[in-house]
Amino acid sequence: MNDDAQILIARLLTHQTLRRDDKVVKRALSDDTFRAEVDKRLLECGLKLLDNVYADHVTLALHRNVEPKIFGAKDIWQNNNFGLTRDGVALLVVLWAQIILPKRQRQETHQSIDVDQSDMFDKDNPIPRAEDTSIGISYSALLADFGDKLGKKTRMDMNLGLLSKLGFIERRGDEILEGPLLDLLMDTDLLKERIINGALADVFKRAPLAVTARRPASEAANDAAAVAADPAAADTDTTQG
């Protein structure tokens, strides 16, 4: 018997991510009965389907109520199950602040990265896809701006390689681009408050800055680098991949 719920879950476990425009994924996002069946089966295994309208992919993550049993072993709370070290977590948050925050602002204002086609997105239309609004950052600029804070070139290269392998980023020459997991596994609502609104100021041992939601991403990323001193500040959902 053709069981679409079983097939969807098996494909996600195998491939880690699937595109939102995949036929079965679209059904899960639009058919409440089918989604309820998928959610029920995943919950029995301590998992959940993770998606948001700003990302072009979906994935699986641990359900919150099982995290303590997974990450609280031996009285030590792990901040991730990807094998990321403190500077790796910090680099991940910096990349999120540099790539995802500007992308989301473009999506919310329906601006394409192609200026000539920016008028294509009417504000009454669905949020434009990530691939139409996401802009990468320069590796050389990242190294110049954050190399000293993130372990210098050798450590940063190693962590970038790991983040690429895990699916958070993609590398194309000097350019670092959004990977399928970067806007899925980072808790944007939590991080946006902590980074943009200066809630990481206590990590820097300084007074909070007067900032707004329009604060440049480069400045937000400087605060993001403070996660190197407090990896728990990065609330990252965890996949089985």
Q: What digits encode the pLDDT tens for the residues 179-206?
A: 999 998 877 766 666 665 553 444 333 3
Residues 126 and 210 grouped into a single domain: yes
Tell me which of 157 and 107 has the higher pLDDT: 157
Residues 94 and 178 grouped into a single domain: yes
Does a structural domain hold residue 240?
no
Residues 106 and 201 grouped into a single domain: yes
Lowest mean pLDDT: which of 76-80, 145-149, 167-171?
76-80
Residues 103 and 212 grouped into a single domain: yes
**Count: domains in the chain:** 2
Res 178 pLDDT > 90: yes
Give the pLDDT score at 155.
92
Residues 226 and 128 grouped into a single domain: yes
Cβ atoms of residues 16 and 167 within 8 Å = yes
Give the pLDDT score at 159.
93
CA–CA dist 34, 19 (Å, integer): 18
pTM for this one?
Answer: 0.73
Residues 216 and 126 grouped into a single domain: yes
Does a structural domain hold residue 80?
no
Residues 98 and 204 grouped into a single domain: yes
Residues 128 and 196 grouped into a single domain: yes
Angle at 141 between CA 137 and CA 142, to 5 degrees: 70
How do residues 117-158 score in pLDDT, each as one tens digit? 545 555 556 777 777 788 889 999 999 988 888 888 999 999
Does a structural domain hold residue 204?
yes
Angle at 4 between CA 2 and CA 10, to 5 degrees: 105
Q: Domain containing 33: what range?
A: 4-74
Binned at pLDDT 50, 70 and 90, residue 80 comes out as: low
Does a structural domain hold residue 81?
no
Does a structural domain hold residue 116?
yes
Does a structural domain hold residue 60?
yes
